[in-house]
Structure 1
């Protein structure tokens, strides 16, 4: 298994491969941990929606028969039984990871993007404000929004039902594969939110186009992705992406493990490089205006060179990655990576994180914008 040398992109660039043009920028010129300004895929058609029957009116009470239908066991973890594209677990261990990750992201970037309180304010007679969370995971984000805006309607979509016993009355869980189309949601929502779903999305640009139709005029889109790469902090204060090959099994371990994961997600049908193109796709879409882009550089461990705040976040991200390493085993093993290699990569990556041996970062790219009124 090999991979061609990859190059980091500018905010609007595309990955260099057989299908895409290239961009030669490989250094992101931002200080550490800074914010920049400003399915069943064989049956999917991009012309006709093939989505499953829905909506589910409320959270499911998970009986054993429902669990056997919704989940399957692979490599010691529970995965969704609906999509062959998204290959991360959907079990309690993964949901716990996502809950802790949600709290970390609140500390890094706040709970909501600017403008969301105005959009969700209950100030239009006869209109119930509505929010859609695509790939909701544990449901932490959408349930908090439902509680903060009790007069709104909140819809959470994922490949398995949300299993919270404390779901607000104004929030419902729908089980569906968003690769199969969102036509049933057109014109229904004031806010659409999606976070870290790219590994399960076959055509991300098409998803953005469908989301534009789901939003009401002046509605808010809020999306964030990461590119399944690790970045070194350079002496000049910039970040350089670790572009490695899978033909070698050697340090830097976390960065090399991430390359294997990126390739495995692509081979499963996902689009893990979507973060690189997110700003350009949204900024050039004719339905959107007031587009705001941010880079978030999140340290992967509490390296000695970091500030106290960065070390606290680095500790949280390290713990998240510990769990993520285990969560990705079904993706890697199911994609044909030998177990001995997976074990070697994982064990050494854990050591690298535990010793905070390298000043490295994960790059999260966030875009929020408004839908044009006309």
Structure 2
């Protein structure tokens, strides 16, 4: 049973700025609503042009939004505040940051549930479905994508962002992990991710969920207008502070990996002492590393085809 908590390429292939002129005005759009984010790291916490256009279409309609993988809740919070007449459901396997959750707008309902149970009760109900860093939350990630597409109404928008579970250097080359030395050494973050990939593979999950989801969505007959995007997001700044804000946003998203990975890694035989050592050193490395490190995030957007 679900627990409900009711609180108060990234190069884009095509990018158009949407203009909407409504002579009657719109009561459902907050006057302080921001313009949709440009392609880039800001899409981690703000909504895209495609979502913006969908929310703006249909003067009298109340839009329904489903957000999966919502630990930081910043994305759904921004959307719900800018469109106060929409009704939003934020679904995850565990509560997120208590301070952020308690600060959610009144038109957002937080639901705690196992994503592997499926989304059958949400079919044909939403205008926007957003999935963010949820591949570790669901063993059947392709099934989750299928259910997300079926949760959309006609002309609804699916937006998925996933990290590929590798660490990259300043030249966007993979950082070699060190899973041989039981005492570990730099690079801690790359090594931690390698342990996660091993466990996911052994337990029957997909370590290529991020890089292959675009192919599945493109091949789904119910979805069209597919846009595949890729972005390099800093997770450790090294000596650079130019992207401090973006780096912190990504860290907030990745923080959930520590909680999600613990049962995964221990279930695959990793000793608790080694797990604790890895987490402690990863946190320290990401906070004070003298080397620039990136995460690669894949984003796919698509529209539910009309009958």
- TM-score category (smaller protein): 0.7 to 0.9
Mapped contact 1:300–1:318 kept (Cα < 8 A):
yes
1:294 corresponding residue in structure 2: 229
Deviations 1:86-114 (A, max 9, x none): xxxxxxxxxxxxxxxxxxx9646561011
1:241 corresponding residue in structure 2: 174
2:109 corresponding residue in structure 1: 172
Within the alignment, does 1:154 sit opposite 2:88 as a pair?
A: yes
Mapped contact 1:216–1:371 kept (Cα < 8 A):
yes
2:157 corresponding residue in structure 1: 220
Deviations 1:15-60 (A, max 9, x none): xxxxxxxxxxxxxxxxxxxxxxxxxxxxxxxxxxxxx4x695x628
Shift of 1:193: 0.7
Q: CA RMSD in A?
A: 3.3
Whole-Å Cα distance in 2 between the matches of residues 60 and 325 of structure 1?
25
Shift of 1:285: 1.4
Whole-Å Cα distance in 2 between the matches of residues 325 and 106 of structure 1?
22
TM-score where L is the length of structure 2 = 0.74
**Relative to structure 1, is the Cα distance of residues 205 and 331 closer, same or farther in structure 2, using a 3 angstrom cutoff?**
closer
Whole-Å Cα distance in 2 between the matches of residues 358 and 273 of structure 1?
26
Q: Which runs of 5+ in 1 are unaligned?
A: 1-51, 62-104
- Indicate the SS of the match to 2:238: coil
Whole-Å Cα distance in 2 between the matches of residues 315 and 183 of structure 1?
35
Mapped contact 2:71–2:95 kept (Cα < 8 A):
no
Count of residues paired in the alignment? 271
- Indicate the SS of the match to 1:228: coil
**Relative to structure 1, is the Cα distance of residues 343 and 133 closer, same or farther in structure 2, using a 3 angstrom cutoff?**
closer
Shift of 1:370: 1.1
2:137 corresponding residue in structure 1: 200
Shift of 1:230: 0.7
Alignment of 1:70-219 (within 5 A): 107=42, 111-121=46-56, 123-125=58-60, 127-160=61-94, 164-219=101-156
2:6 corresponding residue in structure 1: 59
Mapped contact 1:186–1:214 kept (Cα < 8 A):
yes
1:371 corresponding residue in structure 2: 304
- Indicate the SS of the match to 1:136: coil
Whole-Å Cα distance in 1 between the matches of residues 85 and 48 of structure 2?
20
Deviations 1:228-267 (A, max 9, x none): 1112334xxxx22235463344433321121112333455
Within the alignment, does 1:358 sit opposite 2:291 as a pair?
A: yes
TM-score where L is the length of structure 1 = 0.62
Alignment of 1:9-24 (within 5 A): none
